[in-house]
Amino acid sequence: MTRKSWIQFGIVGFLWGIPYLLMKVAVADIPPALIVAGRTLIGAAILIPIAMRKNTFKDAIKGIKYVAPYAALEMIGPWILITSAEQEISSGLAGLLVSTVPIFSTIFSSLRGDHSVWQPKRIFGLVVGFVGIIALVGIESITGSSNPKAIAMVILASILYAYAVLMITANLPGVDGIAINGVAMGITCIFYTPIAIAVWPSNPVSVEAISALVALGVFSTAIAFMLFFIVIVEIGAARGSLTTYVNTAVAVVLGIIILDEPITLGIIVGLPMVVLGSFLASRKEKV
């Protein structure tokens, strides 16, 4: 990769590592549905005009029968699940659980006909990753460190993430990612706006929570998605997916340093196994 690609890669990894911290701060005063509506409103307001200027917006609209389910799988479902879960679990644990996405992506790719998953190294990665998940969930549940239901919600979100990307890239391979995600964010915002109004907080909302929501929308929603698709074009999807490991490290470290979140036994045991398993499971051997 070029120096420029490495810089973009690092920025994306950081921007997708901080959402868990920002959601943890925002959810203290703002209901999850309002957070999702707010971040997607900001994201759509930034990405849609860019797509229109690039003349790619109409292509995403034409593919709405795929963009709509993508919005449900990538945003409507996962973002409410993760935001709600962070009312019960640490931001670092949420980030760690999301790092399982490459494992599920590998499984879905296999089901869609990609038999390269049966390479020994990738099978070993799947086994290590799942053992790590089981160890993580088991230790966190038995020790009472985290809510099992919240953990399950984040794992479900990871499964939805994994399938969403495969589905949209298979059905709309030539459509601009900025346009697709801008439209998807608009759909998500429309979906959650009535719910957000219904749960509008009656108590004063802190400046920290509002700032976290704005940062979540601008940096971790709009800019991160935009940069990610630039990175994909320059270095390919396989290398681009490795941002997952940067995300995890950033989420865990920020949670510990800024929020004083504990380093639990589950994280100590599960983190290296999940990251190693995801890395191996997502690697394709050269032929």
What end-to-end distance do the CA atoms of the chain give, in Å?
21
What is the band of 267 on the pLDDT scale with cuts at 50, 70, 90? confident
CA distance 93 to 220: 18
Average pLDDT, the chain: 87
- CB count within 10 Å of CB 160 equals 20
Q: How does pLDDT run across 124-159, given as a tens digit for each residue?
A: 887 888 888 888 777 877 777 678 899 999 999 999
Q: How does pLDDT run across 156-204, given as a tens digit for each residue?
A: 999 999 899 889 988 998 899 999 999 999 999 999 999 999 999 999 9
CB 38 within 8 A of CB 197: no
CA distance 189 to 93: 26
Angle in degrees, 0-180, between the axes of helices 19-26 and 91-98, rounded to the nearest 10: 140
Cα angle 174-61-81, degrees, rounded to a multiple of 5: 90
pLDDT cut 70: percent of the chain above it: 91
Q: How does pLDDT run across 69-91, given as a tens digit for each residue?
A: 999 999 999 999 999 999 999 88
- Residue ranges of domains in the chain: 3-281
